[in-house]
Structure 1
Amino acid sequence: MKTFLTVSALLLAGNCLMAQTNNELSPKEKNQGWQLLFDGKTTQGWHNYLKPSAGPAWTVSDGILKLDPSVKEGRGDIVSDKEYENFELSIDWNIAEEGNSGIMFTVHEDKAYENTYITGPEYQLLDDKKAEDNKQANHLAGSLYDIIAPTKAAENPAGQWNHTIIRLKNGELTFWLNGVQTVKTTLWDANWAELVAKSKFKTWKDFAKFHKGHISLQDHGYHIMFRNIKIREV
């Protein structure tokens, strides 16, 4: 006997399949060297900057890592337990209306630096439509914050999922947002020095100076969610 599925049943089955694959690695990804930075169940592998573990403001439910800024205890940026130098990071994010956040990388964790952004460049996460910090092009989603504006707008609206890739190899840095390449530059060369000199970081002596460091998810005081956080060394 043949069984026929309705269109709605097929869609439901497809949605279930997609849900099952969140926070998992496919056989192909495993062969390519990808590793999960988020298991979909706990904050294992992450800790608040300069703290031993992730605080209560960072929670996990329904396979999603969430920041709730209304929880006053345990606020602050979280960083990966491990450090990375040449890597490719893949991550989904969903920001609230008016939201502002970021992904920092090559963050040097040391008591000499009060915050992650003092050493780590930032891939900007923003509600481009309603966030207060949407006046400068190099502050929009997909930008290298305050340094390079995205080549084009590629963000899905607040409340919807976005997909980001950050690739850093031997100083060559590339950003993608929802499949669109938004930034391509080279760190630590003469042109990079000129770019930083024109930014708000021009007097920060250790900004982006470290070639290896932690990945950081920013607490900027707005609700934000993450899933499918994957990394591979390149």
Structure 2
Amino acid sequence: MQRTLDADEWRGWHTGGFPVGSWRSRDGELQAIAGAPRIDLISRQRYQDFTFRFEFALPIAGNSGVLCRVEEDVELSWHSGPEMQLLDDAGHPDGREPTTRNGALYGLMAAEQETSMEPGEFIEAALTVYDGHVEHWLRGRRVLRYRIDDPSLHARIAQSKFAGFPRFAQADKGHLVLQHHGEAARFRRLSIETPD
């Protein structure tokens, strides 16, 4: 089953409604407001196995991310959900580190190939999770694949900044999150496909 995820399908992190002071819904886009309070968007529904398709655009030095299997009983979304990094590698300092470049599993695994972008350019992307198998797609190319229960991944987690968050990458079902990192990230054509 595939369906569109418009603004009605999202709410603010730890809130019940759409965070109009931090995001706007305009011209078919979900737009993070630059300089506004950093309130992430969280899907109203929880998902286990899915393909989440979207297009995103970032400003110069822009930074955002899509997190999956997020549980909301933590302080911040990244304390729970693994993140597909979305980044202007050329403009942002995180672009110098492979595990924080565009398409990476943030802070843990580098993308297998680089995906450059121009500021304001929309890029087709997808995040797929099936039976614990995760794939990151950019521009129609798979740039990373991993298993969320891989012992080698959890060994990396134990040596990372996520080690202090026991809920990280533990849920087998959870919310999607669009990260507000302070910049004017834009998302459009969001849809999700699930087995049922």
Matches within 5 A, 1:152-171: 152-171=113-132
Unaligned residue ranges in structure 1 (runs of 5+): 1-32
Q: 1:84 & 1:59 partners in 2: Cα distance? A: 24
Partner of 2:12: 48
Q: 2:166 & 2:143 partners in 1: Cα distance? A: 27
Partner amino acid for 2:143?
A: T
* Counterpart among 67, 79, 82 of residue 45 in structure 2: 82
Partner of 1:172: 133
Q: 1:158 & 1:148 partners in 2: Cα distance? A: 24
Aligned pair 1:91/2:62, yes or no?
no
Q: 2:17 & 2:34 partners in 1: Cα distance? A: 17
When normalised by structure 1's length, the TM-score is 0.79
Which digits, 9 at most, give the CA deviation of each residue in 1:193-228, with x for residues without a partner? Answer: 223223321232111111110000001111110001
When normalised by structure 2's length, the TM-score is 0.94
Matches within 5 A, 1:54-203: 54-56=18-20, 57-72=22-37, 75-110=38-73, 113-203=74-164
Paired residues of 1:95 and 1:159 also in contact (CA < 8 A): yes
Report deviation, 1:183: 0.8
Aligned pair 1:36/2:36, yes or no?
no
Report deviation, 1:191: 2.3
CA RMSD of aligned residues (A): 1.3
Paired residues of 2:89 and 2:96 also in contact (CA < 8 A): no
Paired residues of 1:155 and 1:162 also in contact (CA < 8 A): no
Aligned pair 1:209/2:170, yes or no?
yes
Please state which structure has a larger fraction of its residues in strand: 2
Report deviation, 1:132: 2.3
Unaligned residue ranges in structure 2 (runs of 5+): none
Residue 93 of structure 2 aligns to a residue whose secondary structure is coil
Paired residues of 2:36 and 2:182 also in contact (CA < 8 A): no
Residues matched between the structures, number = 194
Q: Report the identity percentage.
A: 28
